[in-house]
Amino acid sequence: MGNRRKAREFAIKVLFHMEFNPGFPKETFKLIGDNFGVAKSIQSFAEELVIGVCENKKKLDEVIRKSSKNWKLERMSHADRSILRLGAFEILFRQDIPPKVSIDEAVELGKRYGTDDSGAFINGLLDNIYNLYVKGDQKQHQD
């Protein structure tokens, strides 16, 4: 397993914890890191992801709500919601990561940490976000 995947898994653990214990991302990051014995090699990227999701949470939740059909954000499982926020953050704010990589990584996280249906659910929703917000923007700029 690559360092970026490990970093995403760690970031999901931090974001999931923050669903139940809101607080300062850096403090939560340290708390979870200390308890899980996280390797230094993945901490930088994981922290970038956690901070990015936390700083953009309002926008991410708005995008997820608009892209979700028949599912309210509040009804989604905590794990799925955390993974969706992370995937949406990468798609919308991290130009250094190809969107398809972000979607694939989020689907794998969903399969590992969510329910039997999480992978397909996350794939559909993030693909919709990509088509509406990234692909649609690229098309508008070309016209």
Q: Where are the domains positioned within the chain?
A: 3-142
Check residue 143 and give its pLDDT: 41
**pLDDT surpassing 60 at residue 142:** no
CA–CA dist 143, 130 (Å, integer):
18
Asked whether residue 98 carries a pLDDT value surpassing 50, the answer given is yes
For residue 55, give the amino acid letter. E
Task: Work out the percent of the chain whose per-residue pLDDT is above 90.
Answer: 64
| Beta carbons within 10 angstroms of residue 56's beta carbon | 17
Topology, domain 3-142: N-utilizing Substance Protein B Homolog; Chain A (1.10.940)
